[in-house]
Chain A
């Protein structure tokens, strides 16, 4: 059977996979060293000090503060080394590079919806270019899921009602498993898919050949106008609601005086519970859109608001 192969190491297919594996090897080495050490000592003592007669009396051993301190301090130092190495690697790999390409992920029982800003949507498949950092902005339509690509060594939970993000950069072409790692019900183990890492050229071809569709921002603009959001959120700021132009990624003052960064989470909150985040200087009259939008539509609206920022910057230049 071709499938019956014993594989011991997953491919290193992302920019951080090699670094994670180095740490993994170090930890494996430490584990093996101490396991072998303890086993050897126990076996040695077992043989050397086995009871030879029924009323044998053991020799006296005096307590040793130096030994106690030694085997407290040495493991502590080893832990410090691991902690520093691991945490610095984690922090370096935590924030996505500025040039990361964003892809949106929605988990729902039991499939993955993926949407590219250019418009293409995928189910349980994600096409990405090799050598380009990809940032995933993720949310769930129902329960908690977990987005995991073992060959990239990345994982993050996908939660309802909030956005989590993670990023990776594929370093080799190929197809890589995508798993759900947070138990989500009946078909949890079938909530799997594939990541297709392609050369940038092939990726451009894939984008071009796919079903022609509008970009997420354009789809968001249609929703924005269809629900007459534009009646109040007028671009020049003369409406009953704040202008959304250039607002994304900047702090906004709330009626309470608190400054909040306008990000995906705040827009989600403003749509579903508008009265919890009234903007300073505006009456809290926005109706709630809770239950009216799917998570996909909210992401499109977010993409639209984001695009307003970049348009403004483009105009300013």
Chain B
């Protein structure tokens, strides 16, 4: 027991009262200051956004079955991939794990009553919701067709779509990221229970800390960039459009200064989740804890100086290209270190294969492929050929969907019994994980080949020689879509009818598993004191030693 002062089995007097049944009215949710309820508010919001982004993706893949475009006009296709990218990046992936699982778990994992600033926490959800409204308005009013990258002068002077509304939506949602990051940093610094030293923190907390640093340092840059874009579009101030005295590459520098770290905002939390899952389902302390922890910080820091690898073919100087290339190789190393450590954790473990573990193992495999294909793009000579093609699309989705989304789903399945107090059918969950893994690879592996063959991204119509691989990809996308729908169904069932989970259905270590499921509103009913290392699973050798 890591907390000598808590006895799980002896529940408090009103044991039936928890954060979920502590008030049912709409007001009890909309005005809640409970980090757990706020996490659920985010969960609902981003699930809704994910569905919209997903529908856009399905329509794109349907269109690409025919080389001439099977479904929609070129302008509509351009809006579909823009909406898909903007929503999935800024309104799903960026908030996904931090705002839902992070909000729910950080106080539980460090032994705190709540986050440092509960009102700020609620405000950040409202800010996010406002951003969502802007982007949904942009979609409903006719869409936006700039891609998620908003490159000027197209976006500032040529596009006839709702660029400003979309940019404002991202601008506003960005403040939600900043406030959440700030809240987490202060919480992790100041709210840890006595005895919870930095090296006793679960690795999920380390990754959330690294993510929060990027939130706070990077997000203001994208906010400024998008404001300048809006100013140029509305007021014709020459900033990016050379026709009025601007510099189009300036935007790309500023955009990627945020957006490259932002891909680590999306993957670092996933790495944190996977560290928790691997430890829990092999009943082992994570191999090389401090290397995994510090590699998160290394990634967060180095990620700020690699943005130029998005611009190797823009006419950037050859020396800038060399520097950004070498730095991009450097940022790959901490990720490799994590993969090796996760794999080594399995060694001599006691491994079980419930659904969350399947997601975690899927993550390791797909993230390995996503990371290694990144080397093709860090390398100057091959990037020239592959940049701007489907190879980029495939690489990005292997990291973001094969990595971040797999980890998000794995985390959701792992902590679902804690969040809801109920179990879901594990067989169905394993089946869904398998379908998602297969569907994912069917969808995105052909895109590596398409990219090498030279098919550019963002093409709604394409030469006929690319059709076979596109049809394969579209077929895979339908499998993937079904895979994503299955958890929605059994989670809905579990929420209403699932059998009680008990405090610790996985037999996992960690403070969050030592309290009731769902947790009481105040999290811990008695003071928490930490006396031992994280992931302190009993080992067979230790028993032998004791005898």
Where the two chains meet, the residues of A that have a C-beta atom closer than 8 Å to any C-beta of B are 3-10, 19-20, 23-24, 27, 30-31, 34-35, 38-39, 41-42, 45-46, 49-51, 56-61, 63, 67-68, 71-72, 75-76, 79-80, 82-83, 85-87, 89-91, 93-94, 109, 142-144, 146, 148, 150-151, 153-157, 159-162, 164, 177, 179-190, 192
Residue in A closest to B337 when the chains form the complex, CB atoms: A72
Residue in B241, B329, B375, B467 with the greatest tally of chain A CB atoms within 10 Å: B375
B522 at the interface (CB under 8 A from A): no
Known: A5-B465, A23-B382, A187-B74. 7 other contacts (CB 8 A): A24-B376, A59-B539, A60-B542, A68-B291, A86-B381, A87-B325, A181-B457
B282 at the interface (CB under 8 A from A): yes
Of A10, A58, A89, A164, the contact of B282 (CB 8 Å cutoff): A58
Least CB distance from A52 to B in Å reads 8
Main secondary structure of the interface of A (DSSP, over half): mixed
Residue in A closest to B376 when the chains form the complex, CB atoms: A27
A3-B467, A4-B467 are known contacts. Are A86 and B365 too (CB-CB below 8 A)?
no
A23-B382, A189-B460 are known contacts. Are A49 and B351 too (CB-CB below 8 A)?
yes
Q: Are the CB atoms of B248 and A67 closer together than 8 Å?
A: no
B2 at the interface (CB under 8 A from A): no
Least CB distance from A62 to B in Å reads 10
Interface residues of B in 277-316 (CB under 8 A from A): 282-284, 287-289, 291, 313-315
B contact residues around A27 at 8 Å (CB):
375-376, 379, 382
Binary per-residue interface labels of chain B (154-177) against chain A in the complex, 1 for a CB within 8 Å, 0 otherwise:
100111000000000000000000
A contact residues around B344 at 8 Å (CB):
61, 67
Least CB distance from B375 to A in Å reads 6
Of B321, B375, B453, the contact of A79 (CB 8 Å cutoff): B375
Interface contacts (Cβ under 8 Å), in number, total 271
Least CB distance from A150 to B in Å reads 2
Interface residues of B in 134-152 (CB under 8 A from A): 145-147, 149, 151
Cα–Cα, bound, A53→B325 (Å): 49
Q: Are the CB atoms of B287 and A42 closer together than 8 Å?
A: no
Q: Are the CB atoms of B456 and A164 closer together than 8 Å?
A: no
Q: Are the CB atoms of B365 and A39 closer together than 8 Å?
A: yes
Least CB distance from A73 to B in Å reads 9
Q: Are the CB atoms of A186 and B350 closer together than 8 Å?
A: no
A49-B347, A68-B288, A187-B74 are known contacts. Are A8 and B381 too (CB-CB below 8 A)?
no
Cα–Cα, bound, A182→B387 (Å): 10
Residue in B closest to A53 when the chains form the complex, CB atoms: B350
Q: Are the CB atoms of B283 and A35 closer together than 8 Å?
A: no
Q: Are the CB atoms of A79 and B332 closer together than 8 Å?
A: yes
A68-B291, A157-B314 are known contacts. Are A146 and B388 too (CB-CB below 8 A)?
yes
Q: Are the CB atoms of A156 and B153 closer together than 8 Å?
A: no
A146-B313, A157-B313 are known contacts. Are A42 and B346 too (CB-CB below 8 A)?
yes
Cα–Cα, bound, A82→B328 (Å): 12
Least CB distance from A288 to B in Å reads 12
Of A5, A20, A50, A188, the contact of B78 (CB 8 Å cutoff): A188
B343 at the interface (CB under 8 A from A): yes
Cα–Cα, bound, A186→B159 (Å): 9
Q: Are the CB atoms of B352 and A156 closer together than 8 Å?
A: no
B438 at the interface (CB under 8 A from A): no
Cα–Cα, bound, A67→B291 (Å): 11
B contact residues around A85 at 8 Å (CB):
381
Across the A-B interface, the 5 shortest Cβ-Cβ residue pairs: A150-B454, A161-B242, A181-B388, A3-B464, A189-B459
Q: Are the CB atoms of B343 and A7 closer together than 8 Å?
A: no
A contact residues around B449 at 8 Å (CB):
8
Where the two chains meet, the residues of B that have a C-beta atom closer than 8 Å to any C-beta of A are 67, 74-75, 77-78, 145-147, 149, 151, 153-154, 157-159, 241-243, 248-249, 282-284, 287-289, 291, 313-315, 318, 321-322, 325-326, 329-330, 332-333, 336-337, 339-341, 343-344, 346-353, 361, 364-365, 368-369, 372-373, 375-376, 378-382, 384-385, 387-389, 449, 452-454, 456-465, 467-469, 537-543
Residue in A20, A27, A82, A86 with the greatest tally of chain B CB atoms within 10 Å: A86
Q: Are the CB atoms of A144 and B375 closer together than 8 Å?
A: no
Q: Are the CB atoms of A184 and B154 closer together than 8 Å?
A: yes
B contact residues around A181 at 8 Å (CB):
387-389, 456-457
Q: Are the CB atoms of A153 and B385 closer together than 8 Å?
A: yes
12 contacts between A and B (CB under 8 A): A20-B382, A30-B372, A49-B282, A58-B348, A58-B540, A67-B344, A68-B288, A89-B380, A93-B381, A146-B313, A150-B385, A160-B243
Cα–Cα, bound, A51→B506 (Å): 13
A27-B376, A60-B541, A75-B333 are known contacts. Are A183 and B458 too (CB-CB below 8 A)?
yes
Of A6, A35, A56, the contact of B350 (CB 8 Å cutoff): A56
B contact residues around A75 at 8 Å (CB):
332-333, 336
Q: Are the CB atoms of B318 and A94 closer together than 8 Å?
A: yes
Q: Are the CB atoms of A7 and B248 closer together than 8 Å?
A: no
Q: Are the CB atoms of A148 and B329 closer together than 8 Å?
A: no
Q: Are the CB atoms of B352 and A57 closer together than 8 Å?
A: no
A10-B452, A38-B365, A86-B325 are known contacts. Are A79 and B333 too (CB-CB below 8 A)?
yes
Least CB distance from B393 to A in Å reads 12
B contact residues around A80 at 8 Å (CB):
329
Cα–Cα, bound, A144→B336 (Å): 35
B contact residues around A6 at 8 Å (CB):
468-469
Residue in A closest to B295 when the chains form the complex, CB atoms: A72
Residue in A closest to B75 when the chains form the complex, CB atoms: A186
Q: Are the CB atoms of A68 and B337 closer together than 8 Å?
A: yes
Residue in A closest to B285 when the chains form the complex, CB atoms: A61
Cα–Cα, bound, A106→B401 (Å): 38
Q: Are the CB atoms of A154 and B384 closer together than 8 Å?
A: yes
Q: Are the CB atoms of B284 and A61 closer together than 8 Å?
A: yes
Residue in A closest to B334 when the chains form the complex, CB atoms: A72
Of A57, A87, A150, A180, the contact of B538 (CB 8 Å cutoff): A57
Cα–Cα, bound, A67→B336 (Å): 13
Cα–Cα, bound, A151→B333 (Å): 32
Q: Are the CB atoms of B154 and A45 closer together than 8 Å?
A: no
Cα–Cα, bound, A72→B336 (Å): 8
Residue in A closest to B540 when the chains form the complex, CB atoms: A57
Q: Are the CB atoms of B452 and A58 closer together than 8 Å?
A: no
Q: Are the CB atoms of B248 and A144 closer together than 8 Å?
A: yes
B contact residues around A160 at 8 Å (CB):
153, 241-243, 248
A contact residues around B77 at 8 Å (CB):
189
Cα–Cα, bound, A51→B350 (Å): 5
